[in-house]
Structure 1
Amino acid sequence: MSRLNILIFTSLLLLSCMAMAQPAMPSQISVHDPVLIKEKGKWYLFATGMGISVWSSADMKNWKPEKPVFSEPPQWAVQTIPGYRGHTWAPDISFDGKNYFLYYSVSAFGKNTSAIGVAVNKTLDPSSADFKWIDKGKVIQSVPGRDMWNAIDPNLIRDDNSQPWLVFGSFWNGMKLVRLNNDQDAPAIPEQWFTVAARQRSYYLPDTAAGDAAIEAPFIIKRDNYYYLFVSFDYCCRGERSTYKIVVGRSEKLEGPYMDWDGLAMNLGGGTTVFEGNRQWYGVGHNAVVSEGGKDYLVCHGYDANDNGRPKLIIHEMQWRNGWPFVPR
């Protein structure tokens, strides 16, 4: 079958699946950069906010606000980031079998004066006697003029040997992947760093400028024989003018290279669109992926055209065809 026939067949198949698909589950809660995890029948959502916003739900539809992770800003972050007063970005939550690890970002807006920290807890249930967030401090830091990467938007992924890695980044020279130590609180020695996704940056821009290579919010999952790297292209946080969209590539190796559907490497600007905005939802992006009941769900935020462009939580079933994810519309 020719490449053209394959593309036509795949397009028709996707359209058929979209017609049968269930609608998304948009929520009335206003969030940026959501991530989900389930403990003992209850979902916990973490998002950007003062002290890190937290919500809980039994059904991923009706959400109850919980107390923030931090009642006061971590002292190390106040000392590291000028002007930081507790507004904490882009958390990531994972469980290693004993503890929950919550990675989070602190940054000066539009600058790579940034750092990623981590806090741990034995449980996510606030009513448990074991519930207590313990902040372990800084994991990675980026410095203007020294680093051409930005230490925000972390996501933890384990390789086939259960070794923890952290993928992160926003603008500059793209998404970085670094191997962590066994305590998951610092890069492993010797350090291993990889650029797994990037977009072309105008050469004339100073190193200290975020630039125009609009890419951020990496998230990696393993499915069958492939690692899938999701990132957000274009611009967030502009309400109805937001152009965010989610793209993906895959690799048989965690460290890449990640290739898109057309065979273009993501570290050379590649990325196959998974989900993008429409007339109701502007700028959908900064996604996570969770699995439940044999289904995979894409979790992200979008700006609601029916509510003056406010950011809202979106949870949408993600389907797979020929080894590639897509979100029916």
Structure 2
Amino acid sequence: MKRLRLAAPLAAAAVALLPGTARADVAYPDPQPVTGQEVIHDPTVIRLKSGGYVAYSTGGVIGARTSEDRVHWKDAGNAFAEPPSWWYEYNDTGDPWAPDISYRAGRYWLYYAVSSWGTNHSAIGVATSRTGLPGTWTDHGKVFSSETTDHWNAIDPALIEADGRLWMAFGSYWTGIRMVELDGTTGKAARGATVHHLATRPDAPYAVEGPEIVKHGRHYYLFASYDACCSGVDSTYKIKVGRSTDITGPYVDSTGRPMLEGGGDLLLEGHGRFIGTGGQSTFRDRGRDVLAYHYYDAADDGTPKLGLNRLTWKKDGWPVVR
């Protein structure tokens, strides 16, 4: 059921809640206006050192879009001209999913997943580039993988540095969101790395995926997409968040309910024509945090499009979408 908008787009005021209930908003902001190539799924965005922006996404051979002003976006082809050969081990079309771009040690790092719908025979790979632009990436193969005997699914990577160490959150359905430590030099899973458990749901099919972790103040914030994507206007995707003072958890919502027990504050959900908000990532732009995500446009036959909003922080540390 579509949520009705109850106030102006920027009025994201918290409502009174029953004890033990995570906070929610009575209204959600519309995405900031964008023009040009709006169609996208699972966006990851970065402001380039050379100026301008690049967004990568599910679709194509990691589809690319570029922008000079974060408003008008152009189709920029794909990260790769051809799928690396090892991708075909995970699906017949060499189809990559849910990339994550970051900048570290003088290079851009692009993580991505290869899998098939409905299976956890999956792998996360990594490529690097000096410029971050499509056509300049060198693939370095697998970072981490999962098999049907595992209790997690190695897709939807998200990188974060914490206390001089490099970590990758990942996961989709199965038992939810996981995390492993990476080798800071190779960018691949550290030898013998422990697989930490960050979030799940008590109800099958454990529909939580697409993690993103952000450091703010003394806390790490875990954003994740809940419920069903990829069904146009029937999608029920929404974004929830919890926090922890330790990178490996436990993550809890504003009532103290652990995300390992189904907790999570509702940050953004569908409203008006903007259905199934999720597949989120974050990036810094001129000292401010920005939330990127896709939504399904009810005014355009459920086409997935780029959503961008400012991410601000309340006095108590919890994030708000503006």
Q: Does residue 196 of the first structure (1) align with residue 205 of the second (2)?
A: no
Structure 1 match to 2:214: 221
2:112 maps to amino acid = Y
The superposition leaves residues 133-169 of structure 1 with CA deviations (integer Å, 9 ceiling, x where unpaired) of: 111001111111x1111110001111122x1111000
Q: Report the Cα distance in structure 2 between the residues aligned to 1:41 and 1:270, rounded to whole angstroms.
A: 39
Q: Is the 8 A contact 2:178 2:197 kept in 1?
A: yes
Q: Aligned partners of 1:305, 1:82: CA distance in 2, in Å?
A: 30
Alignment of 1:324 onto 2:311: no
Where does structure 2 lack aligned partners over 5 or more consecutive residues? Answer: 1-12, 17-22
Structure 1 stretches of 4+ moved >4 Å = 14-19
Q: Secondary structure at the match of 1:195?
A: strand
Q: Which residue of 2 aligns with 1:116?
A: 124
Matches of 2:214 and 2:114, distance apart in 1: 24
Q: Which runs of 5+ in 1 are unaligned?
A: 1-8, 203-211
Structure-1 residue corresponding to 2:167: 165
Give the aligned partner of residue 3 of structure 1. none
Report the residue type matching 2:249 in the other structure.
G
Amino acid at match of 1:232: S
User: Greater share of helix residues, 1 or 2?
Assistant: 1
State the shift of 1:23 in Å: 5.9
Change in 2 beyond 3 A, CA 1:260/1:16: closer
Out of 151, 167, 172, the residue aligned to residue 154 of structure 2 is: 151
Higher Cα Rg, which structure: 1
Aligned residues: 301
- Following superposition, the deviation at residue 108 of structure 1 comes to 0.7
Counterpart in the other structure of 2:72: 62
CA distance in 1, matches of 2:54, 2:260: 32
Partners of 2:210 and 2:276 in 1: CA distance: 13
Of 282, 287, 294 in structure 2, the residue corresponding to residue 289 of structure 1 is 282
Moved more, 306-315 or 105-114: 105-114
| 2:127 aligned with 1:134 | no
Select which of 52, 55, 67 maps to 1:45.
55
Aligned equivalents of 2:83 and 2:127: distance in 1? Answer: 12
Equivalent residue of 1:150, what SS?
coil
- One-letter identity of the residue aligned with 1:308: D
8 Å Cα contact 2:34/2:72 also seen in 1: no
Over residues 254-307 of structure 1, what are the superposed CA-to-partner deviations in whole Å (9 max), with x where a residue is unaligned? 000011011111111111011000121110001111222333211000000110
Aligned to 2:105: 97
How far apart, CA to CA, are the structure 1 residues paired with 2:72 and 2:213?
Answer: 27
Deviation at 1:97, TM superposition (A): 3.0
Q: Which amino acid aligns with 1:57?
A: S
Displacement of 1:17 in angstroms is 12
What are the Cα deviations for residues 167-206 of structure 1, in whole angstroms up to 9, with x where unaligned?
Answer: 000000011100011224422133122100111244xxxx
Give 2:169's aligned amino acid: V
Aligned with residue 246 of structure 1, among 239, 245, 250? 239
Distance 1:245 1:167 in 2: 19
Q: 214-223 vs 316-325, which deviates more?
A: 316-325
Deviation at 1:132, TM superposition (A): 2.8
Q: Separation in 2 of the partners of 1:268 and 1:17? A: 24
CA contact (8 A) 1:173 1:201 kept: no
**CA 1:270–1:184 in 2, change beyond 3 Å: closer, same or farther?**
farther
Residue 9 of structure 2 is matched in structure 1 by none
- The question of whether the paired residues in 1 share the 8 Å contact of 2:236 and 2:276 is answered with yes
